[in-house]
Amino acid sequence: KGKSLYNIRPKHDSGIKAKISMK
């Protein structure tokens, strides 16, 4: 259970996650 290999930020309304979740 090492440290995370990626950074997490708050989800942004114009970010890719928001775009994809609308698909």
Residues lying near another protein in the complex (CB under 8 A) are found at 5-12, 15-17, 19-20, 23
In the complex, least distance from residue 18 CB atom to another protein, rounded to whole angstroms: 8
Instruction: Specify whether the CB–CB gap between 2 and 8 falls below 8 A.
Output: no
Least distance to another protein from the beta carbon of 11, Å?
4
Q: How far is the CB of 7 from another protein (least distance, A)?
A: 4
CA 4 to mean position of chain CA atoms: 14
Can you tell me the distance from the alpha carbon of 2 to that of 16, in angstroms, rounded to the nearest whole number? 27
